[in-house]
Amino acid sequence: MTRKTDECLRPWDAFIAPTERIDLARASGRIAASTIRQYPPGIPEIIPGTQYSPDVIKSLESAHAAQAKIIGINMAADRKVDVLKDLGRQAEKLDIQVFESRSIDGSTSDEIADFFRTSFSAAPYYHFAFHESEPLDSLPPTLDFEAYAVSIALTDPEKRKTCQDALRSVAYEKAVHANASADLSSIILPKGFHLWTDKALCRKHIKDRLSDPGYVTLVRHKDTGKLLGLLHSRMGTVRRIFQSEEWSDPLLFSTYSDAKKLADAKQFFEKVDYHFGLKPNDPIMTISAQVLAPEIQGGDVFYQMIKPMAELISPQHAALPLLSEISLHGTAHVLNTSFTDRIVFGVLKNTHPLVYCSQMNQALFLFTSEKKHWHHALRKAARENLEYRKQYFISHHTDNKHVKVRPNGPLGLAVFAIKDIPAKTRIAVFRGETYRSTSAVNLPEIMRDHAIQVGPEEFVFGYKGLAHCLCHSCDPNCGIRNLTEIFTIRDIAAGEQLSWDYRCSENSDWVLETCLCGSERCTGTVKNFDSLPREIKAEYLAKSMVSEWIRENI
């Protein structure tokens, strides 16, 4: 067989490069991203990294005419092939360089900070002016904006304060990067409002971030040298990155006191632990592309930026878990569907989803193999993952062969027997971290209804478990033994829902206002063990279905 193609790229480089699907008829001169072969004998006509020539196209046409089986293209239908994207003139204009972030000098660091500031201030603004004559409710109640500038010209201090408070609450609700214009110098806005417009503060922030290990890719215009965008990877702990990233900014919107700020930070770490199992001191990597100039935005440029950075990242670094934020407004953050293990909304107060991937290297490779425009993929992933929690429960925690987790109307997820289960069979065990609290009501919101009490001031919380899907019933067929183990108290037939009486472990201030168990013994409101009628207590104790800690404290 004669060689009809020229190899232009290594197959691997071609495989991971951005690609597009085009008609075979237009493929001449383009570099293949996939293999096409005749079978038999199975020898490829073209492989990734080689160039389509008129000969290759002719050969495929005649093979098709001779009714040969061709794999890798549907000759009878669309006749499309995968080829590398033509990066064209856009790429030629760009100068892309990678630096170790700690080696960036002071003037470049300032340049990056100024780039941030100008980019943010170039965001679309909605200007609002408030004057004495204007009613305060002229503040638009619902706005879809990323930033706005405000002018307030009120001499009445009382009225001005009300106006500021209203602004704060709108800003907080919408979690905007609001920007105070120069004539607002006399007005004190919360810190978050002008974080990115204060030159000195912004420079300080960027210097601080660059002091962490990591890499920065800078994209400049080849002729003018103008900075157009950057990509930053950082290695640090969850705490370190949270505190120095603008992730904490949205929290500042609600910060009127340090105590509030501390509480917010605490909640952030609890949520990150809850969603991703990451503790504040766990090492992580983050990666984000920042404010690519509008004229160069897109997956191709991103690909060019990330490739040299990826080559520098050591295997050790690449094995770190990755955490990043996706902006729903389309600023350039860097993740995509194929490598995001989990995407969670609401971890950050600005409602941008935070994304987790178990390994950085996985992220990089899979990113580059993604065919779709990354930006589009992100939004799609974000939308699809709104229901993440439910899916996560269902897909991960049905490892017990006797049962199945499925939604059950207003009860939410419930556990059903799929086989007959004899009495005294272990069904599930609560696993998780132990939290100390004098009250269930004071537990963080996310764990309030999912924690199990294991001592007078101790609660176990870990959402990843079958145990957490078991519903309460005032007439249960399961009980609890030791502190965390749910077991059947009688024989159970296939198809029956499994449930236990939450009061068998709970003796705190936790209250379930309206019980939906529907049993004849239903008490309506469900409180703690002490609230149970004497005869039910006696029955539960006799059946040894009450948590050890309650039995010891009677």
* Of residues 4-43, those binding Zn ion (CB under 5 A): none
477-499 burial, b for 16+ CB within 10 Å, e for fewer?
bbbbbebbbbbbbeebeeeebbb
Minimum CB–partner distance for residue 513 and Zn ion (Å): 12
Among 98-106, 167-175, 339-347, 507-515, which window interacts with Zn ion (CB under 5 A)? 507-515
Let me know the angle formed at the C-alpha of 356 by 355 and 358, rounded to the nearest 5 degrees: 160
Q: Are 296 and 342 in contact (CB under 8 A)?
A: no
Site for Zn ion in 154-183 (CB under 5 A): none
Q: Is 536 among the residues that bind Zn ion (CB under 5 A)? A: no
Rounded CA-CA distance 494/508 in Å is 34
Cβ proximity of 46 and 5 under 8 Å: yes
> Which of these, 336, 334, 339, lies nearest to 309 by C-alpha position?
334
> Distance (Å, rounded) from C-alpha 315 to C-alpha 299?
25
The number of angstroms, rounded, from the C-alpha of 417 to the middle of its chain's C-alpha atoms is 33
Query: Looking at beta carbons only, is 412 or 456 nearer to Zn ion?
Result: 412
Q: Among candidates 253, 339, 321, 230, which has minimal Cα distance to 284?
A: 321
Coil vs helix vs strand at 448:
helix
Question: Is there a contact between 81 and 21 (Cβ–Cβ < 8 Å)?
Answer: yes
Which range binds Zn ion by CB under 5 A, 63-71, 103-111, 294-302, 473-481?
A: 473-481
3-state secondary structure 41-54: CCCEEECCCEECCH
Q: Minimal distance in Å, beta carbon 503 to Zn ion?
A: 10
Binding span for Zn ion by CB under 5 A among 184-192, 228-236, 385-393, 511-519: 511-519
3-state secondary structure 193-214: HHCCCCHHHHHHHHHHHHCCCE
CB of 523 to Zn ion, least distance (A): 6
Q: C-beta of 175: minimal distance to Zn ion in Å?
A: 39
Write down the least CB distance from residue 123 to Zn ion, Å: 52
- Shorter beta-carbon distance to Zn ion: residue 367 or 500: 500
Provide the CA 553 distance to its chain's centre, in angstroms. Answer: 43
Considering the complex, state which of residue 318 and residue 522 has its C-beta at the smaller distance from Zn ion: 522
Among 344, 347, 405, 517, binds Zn ion (CB under 5 A): 517
> In the complex with Zn ion, which residue's Cβ is closer, 52 or 502?
502
Stretch of 345-353, 359-367, 508-516, 537-545 contacting Zn ion, by CB under 5 A: 508-516
- If the CB atoms of residues 249 and 501 are measured against Zn ion, the closer one turns out to be 501
- Scanning 219-227, 281-289, 479-487, 517-525 for contacts with Zn ion by CB under 5 A, the matching segment is 517-525
Residue 504 in contact with Zn ion, rule: CB under 5 A: no
Residue 390 CB, nearest approach to Zn ion (Å): 23
For Zn ion, the closer CB: 429 or 515: 515
Q: How far apart are CA 496 and CA 518, in angstroms?
A: 14
| Cβ at position 482, least distance to Zn ion in Å | 25
CB nearer to Zn ion: give 399 or 513: 513
- Pick from 31, 33, 36: which is nearest to 75 by CA? 36
Cβ(479)–Cβ(486) under 8 Å?
Answer: yes
Residue with smaller CB distance to Zn ion, 522 or 536:
522
Task: Assess contact for 529 and 502: CB atoms under 8 A.
Answer: no
Among 335, 192, 321, smallest CA distance to 256 is for 192
Q: Which stretch binds Zn ion (CB under 5 A): 51-59, 87-95, 375-383, 520-528?
A: 520-528
Nearer to Zn ion by Cβ, of 235 and 517: the residue is: 517
Q: Pick from 27, 241, 415, 474: which binds Zn ion (CB under 5 A)?
A: 474
Contact 60, 23 (CB under 8 A): no
Task: Count residues near Zn ion (CB under 5 A).
Answer: 4
Degrees, nearest 5: CA angle 543-546-547: 145
Cβ atoms of 444 and 507 closer than 8 Å: no
Give me the least distance between CB of 527 and Zn ion, in Å please.
12
Nearest to 76 by CA among 24, 21, 40, 136: 24
| Burial of 135 per CB tally in 10 Å (0-12, 13-18, 19+) | exposed
Contact 531, 509 (CB under 8 A): no
Site string for Zn ion, 420-459 (x = CB under 5 A): ----------------------------------------
Name the minimum Å distance from CB 533 to Zn ion: 13
Least Å from the CB of residue 443 to Zn ion: 22
* Minimum gap (Å) between residue 179 Cβ and Zn ion: 53
| Span from 169-177, 399-407, 417-425, 468-476 in contact with Zn ion (CB under 5 A) | 468-476
Q: Residue 515, interface with Zn ion (CB under 5 A)?
A: yes
522 near Zn ion (CB under 5 A): yes
Nearest approach, Cβ of 502 to Zn ion (angstroms)? Answer: 10
Binding segment for Zn ion (CB under 5 A), chosen from 188-196, 239-247, 349-357, 469-477, is 469-477
Ranges within 381-410 binding Zn ion (CB under 5 A): none
Of 316 and 514, the one with the shorter C-beta distance to Zn ion is 514
Give me the torsion for CA of 327, 328, 332, 333, rounded to 10°: 50
CB atoms closer than 10 angstroms to residue 549 = 16
Q: Looking at 15-23, 45-53, 288-296, 521-529, which segment touches Zn ion (CB under 5 A)?
A: 521-529
Q: In whole angstroms, how close is the CB of 394 to Zn ion at the nearest point?
A: 24
User: Measured from the CB of residue 476, what is the shortest distance to Zn ion in angstroms?
Assistant: 9
Report the residue number, 54 or 524, with the smaller CB distance to Zn ion: 524
Residues that bind Zn ion (CB under 5 A): 474, 515, 517, 522
